Amino acid sequence: MTRDVLLRVDDLVVGTRDDQGREVRLVDGVSFEIAEGEVLCVVGESGSGKSITMAAVLGLLPAGVEVLSGRVEYRGEDLLSAGERRLRELRGRRLAMVFQDPMTALNPVKRVGAQIARAVRLHGDRLTRAEADRRAAELLAAVGVPDAAERARAYPHQWSGGMRQRAVIATAIAHDPDLLVADEPTTALDVTIQAQIMQLLAEARGRTSAAMALITHDLGLVAQTADRIVIMYSGRVVETGTVWELFDSPRHPYTAGLLASLLTAESSTGRAYAIPGSPPQPSARPAGCPFAPRCELPAKSARCLTEVPLLRSVAPDHDSACHHADTVSRFAEEVAG
């Protein structure tokens, strides 16, 4: 059954100014869709533009960074032309964010329960302070916090990193949002706690039928979680497709390199592949394909150095921005060992 589009991002450009006042594009022409109830994973190295993209969607760009062009639609409503009042109505109620670092998401001088209770009341629930406090404790219990009513009276520094992330998730799901945006939600957590947090997000989605945009560089999480994947590199989308398509038959050398960097039991060499070099700075992208200086694809040609490849269909529900996409699958097998 085809699901309705919940969020549509079309040709989004986000930029800033360098010290000389020149425009620098941090995100350059990004497009994707998220359907109702779908999990879309946005994947790429640090600096690829994935977090800035979702910050632009939610109207949370840092000072000095702005949307230069494009369109962002939530259920057909253009968010980029919506006023701040309308965005505040949507954020936290219909569109919710789980931030990367719960210590910066939580106010260190306010009790955890009071912060959740304030979020409950802020978005239109007509509750007394006591009712909001009880609702906060219920949300904390729902995300697995033991003795929730008692623990709600603690301050963030008195909680572990995993418990703080549970509090952030409790705040995000308070109003049964349509879309959860989770920005590296398991960073700095140990493997056991990572699994618990991802299970918690899955359970929250199961209760509310929310879609989720998961921003991550962890392909292990992607394999377990995603319906579809967007691969970003140097501020651009270089490949999109279902999790099965991209893991089984990558059609961009960057995706192939990311997959080969995962050391698996099937690897014949016992060593993980490492993509050579580093991503370019946004102010110093090469003239052609941004990945060309690092690309080891045997079919790489002079065209790669001079012409930016456009995102094009290479299979049903599978797009690639590579001039030589048809040769990538064989390359992926070779580098994977």
Residue 264 has pLDDT above 60, yes or no: no
Q: What does the alpha-carbon distance between residue 50 and residue 232 come to, in Å, rounded to a whole number?
A: 7
| Lowest-confidence pick of 10-24, 25-39, 75-89, 113-127 | 113-127
Kindly state the percentage of the chain with pLDDT values over 70. Answer: 96
Q: What does the alpha-carbon distance between residue 75 and residue 35 come to, in Å, rounded to a whole number?
A: 10
pLDDT for position 226: 93
Q: What does the alpha-carbon distance between residue 282 and residue 13 come to, in Å, rounded to a whole number?
A: 13
Q: What does the alpha-carbon distance between residue 52 and residue 225 come to, in Å, rounded to a whole number?
A: 22
pLDDT for position 245: 93
Q: What does the alpha-carbon distance between residue 115 and residue 92 come to, in Å, rounded to a whole number?
A: 13
- Please state the φ and ψ torsions of residue 332, each to the nearest 5 degrees: -60, -40
pLDDT for position 266: 52
Q: Residues 182-186: contacts with CB within 8 Å, 24+ apart?
A: 182/97, 182/98, 182/212, 182/213, 182/214, 182/215, 183/51, 183/54, 183/97, 183/98, 183/99, 183/100, 183/215, 184/51, 184/100, 184/215, 184/216, 184/217, 185/98, 185/100, 185/214, 186/218, 186/221
Q: Helical H runs in the chain?
A: 50-58, 84-90, 102-105, 112-122, 129-142, 148-151, 161-172, 191-208, 219-225, 243-248, 253-260, 302-306, 328-336
Q: How confident is the model at residue 196 (pLDDT cuts 50, 70, 90)?
A: confident
pLDDT for position 139: 93
pLDDT for position 194: 85
Residue 265 has pLDDT above 50, yes or no: no
Token digits of residue 141: 């219990």
Q: What does the alpha-carbon distance between residue 52 and residue 44 come to, in Å, rounded to a whole number?
A: 12
Helix axes 161-172, 129-142, angle to 10 degrees: 120
Mean pLDDT across the stretch 140-165?
Answer: 93
Residue 263 has pLDDT above 80, yes or no: no
pLDDT for position 268: 54
DSSP-derived secondary structure letter, 252 = S
Evaluate whether 43 touches 219 at the Cβ level (below 8 Å).
Answer: yes
Which pTM does this prediction carry?
0.92
- Which domains are seen in the chain, by residue range? 5-226 (3.40.50.300), 252-336 (no CATH)
Dump pLDDT digits (tens) for 33-76. Answer: 999 999 999 999 989 999 999 999 999 999 999 999 999 999 99
Neighbours of 125 (CB within 10 A): 15
Question: According to the per-residue pLDDT averaged within each range, which of 72-76, 83-87, 332-336 is highest?
Answer: 72-76
- The residue among 221, 317, 268 whose CA lies nearest residue 260 is 268
pLDDT for position 313: 97
Residue 218 has pLDDT above 90, yes or no: no
pLDDT for position 132: 93
Q: How confident is the model at residue 256 (pLDDT cuts 50, 70, 90)?
A: very high
Neighbouring-strand partners of residue 239: 231, 320
pLDDT for position 150: 95
- DSSP strand pairing (5-17 vs 77-78): unpaired
Q: What does the alpha-carbon distance between residue 20 and residue 16 come to, in Å, rounded to a whole number?
A: 11
